[in-house]
Structure 1
Amino acid sequence: MFDVDVYLARLGYTGPVSPTWPVLRDLHKRHLMTIPYDSALNATRGDNLWSNVDIDVDKTFAEVVVGGRGGVCTELNGLFRVLLERLGFTVDVYSAGTRQLDGSFGPDLEHVFNSVVLDGTRYLVDVGFVGPSFLEPIVLSDEPQEQYGNVFRVVRDGGYRVLLRKGRRGDYQQTYRFRPRARSFDEWNDPGDDLREFARGLAAAGTLVRGRAFETGQRILIGRRYVVVDDGYDHLRVLVNDDEHREVVAEILGTGHGRRT
Structure 2
Amino acid sequence: MPATASSTLDLPRYLARIGYAGPLTPTGDVLAALQAAHVAAIPFEALDPLTGKAVDLAPAAIDAKLIEARRGGYCFEQNSLFLRVLRALGFEAEGRIARVRWTLPDDAPPTPRTHQLTRVILAGRAWLVDVGFGSAVPAAPLAIDRAGAQPTAHEPCRLVRVGDAWRVEAEIAGEWRPLYDVEDGEPPAIDYEVGNWYTSRHPDSHFCHQLIAARTTADARIALRDNRLTIRRTDGTVDQRYLSAEEIEAALADIFGLAVEPGWRPAIERAATVEVAV
TM-score over 0.5 for the pair: yes
Mapping of residues 133-148 of structure 1, within 5 Å: 133-140=137-144, 141-148=146-153
1:223 aligns with one of 217, 226, 234: 226
Q: Summarize deviations over 1:185-238 as a string: whole Å, max 9, x none.
A: 1335666x9x58992212696112111111123111122333323217373735
> What residue in structure 2 maps to residue 118 of structure 1?
122
> Counterpart of 1:144 in 2: which secondary structure?
coil
> Counterpart of 1:145 in 2: which secondary structure?
coil
Q: TM-score, normalised by structure 2?
A: 0.78
Query: Identity over aligned residues, as a percent?
Result: 24
Structure 2 CA distance, aligned partners of 1:197 and 1:41?
8
1:71 is displaced (CA, Å) by 1.0
> What residue in structure 1 maps to residue 162 of structure 2?
157
> Counterpart of 1:10 in 2: which secondary structure?
helix
Structure 1 CA distance, aligned partners of 2:222 and 2:200?
29
1:142 is displaced (CA, Å) by 3.0
1:84 is displaced (CA, Å) by 0.7
Return closer, same or farther for 1:231/1:118 CA change in 2, 3 Å cut-off.
Answer: same
1:132 aligns with 2:139: no
1:88 aligns with 2:90: yes
Give the counterpart letter for 2:254 in structure 1.
Answer: E
The number of equivalent residue pairs is 247
1:30 aligns with 2:33: no
Mapping of residues 184-195 of structure 1, within 5 Å: 184-188=188-192, 195=198
Structure 2 CA distance, aligned partners of 1:247 and 1:196?
26
Q: Summarize deviations over 1:29-58 as a string: whole Å, max 9, x none.
A: 000000001101013558xx7x85xx2112
Return closer, same or farther for 1:213/1:173 CA change in 2, 3 Å cut-off.
Answer: same
Structure 1 CA distance, aligned partners of 2:109 and 2:143?
22
1:182 aligns with one of 180, 186, 193: 186
> What residue in structure 2 maps to residue 58 of structure 1?
60
- RMSD after superposition: 2.8
> What residue in structure 2 maps to residue 173 of structure 1?
177
Give the counterpart letter for 1:127 in structure 2.
Answer: V
Q: TM-score, normalised by structure 1?
A: 0.83
1:156 is displaced (CA, Å) by 1.2
1:201 aligns with one of 204, 210, 217: 204
